[in-house]
Copies of this chain bind each other. A is one copy, B any other.
Amino acid sequence: MSSGTPTNLEFALLGLLHSAPQSGYDLRKVFAETAMGNYSSSPGAIYPALKRLERRQLIEGEVDRTVSLRPKKMFRPTTTGAAVFREWLLREISLEDVRRNLDELILRFAFYSTLDDAGSTRHFLEVLARRVDEYLQELLTQRAMMSRLEGSAGEVPIHARMAFEFGIEQYRAWGRWARRAMKRFEEERE
């Protein structure tokens, strides 16, 4: 299909354009210079992504010649673009998201300032914390099954087990972060 859900990179671009109209080059710099770089980089990904967003009418570009003769295409989100972005931000977090799309979740959260609604932030963090707990239960069950194999033929090697433990640690960190963040927003409300 030509109109599947945008990718993380496309949402990241859409979100950055939400704060101010920018050119492809400006956006590239953001990715190159900040931690946003995890979500991609380099012209080969960004320019095509912008073109796709334009084709789907989620953003619109306008050539700017005011600064100099050198043309510069400034993009801004369209009304539907802003709506699609908002829908993405507010989309309910699923267990699958927590299992495999953690990158997307933190990217979404990073753009929650554009919503300007403390309630949404709280809801996001609450659901996130709950889903993380659910997934942690799964992981702990898996760990229990692993230790039951200990000493037997199908025993999981020590390094693999430690890698797995680390995975658990990471999810614990997500849970802690979500809860700390919730507290922080509650304090600010007072």
Tell me if A169 and B159 are in contact (CB < 8 A): no
| Size of the chain A interface, CB-CB below 8 angstroms | 30
A109-B159, A113-B158 are known contacts. Are A164 and B35 too (CB-CB below 8 A)?
yes
A100-B38, A170-B170 are known contacts. Are A163 and B110 too (CB-CB below 8 A)?
yes
Tell me if B173 and A111 are in contact (CB < 8 A): no
Tell me if A177 and B166 are in contact (CB < 8 A): yes
**Chain A binding surface, main DSSP class:** helix
Q: Which of A112, A142, A162, A169 has the most CB of B within 10 A?
A: A162
Q: How far is the CB of A21 from chain B (nearest CB, A)?
A: 15
Kindly state whether residue A144 has any CB partner on chain B within 8 Å.
no
For this chain, the copies found in one complex come to: 2
A173-B170, A181-B162 are known contacts. Are A142 and B34 too (CB-CB below 8 A)?
yes
Interface residues of A (CB under 8 A from B): 34-35, 38, 100, 106-107, 109-114, 121, 139, 142, 157-160, 162-164, 166-167, 169-170, 173, 177, 181, 184
27 contacts between A and B (CB under 8 A): A34-B142, A35-B139, A35-B142, A35-B164, A38-B100, A106-B163, A106-B166, A106-B167, A107-B163, A109-B159, A109-B162, A110-B159, A110-B162, A110-B164, A111-B159, A112-B159, A113-B157, A113-B158, A113-B159, A121-B159, A162-B181, A166-B177, A169-B173, A169-B177, A170-B170, A170-B173, A173-B173
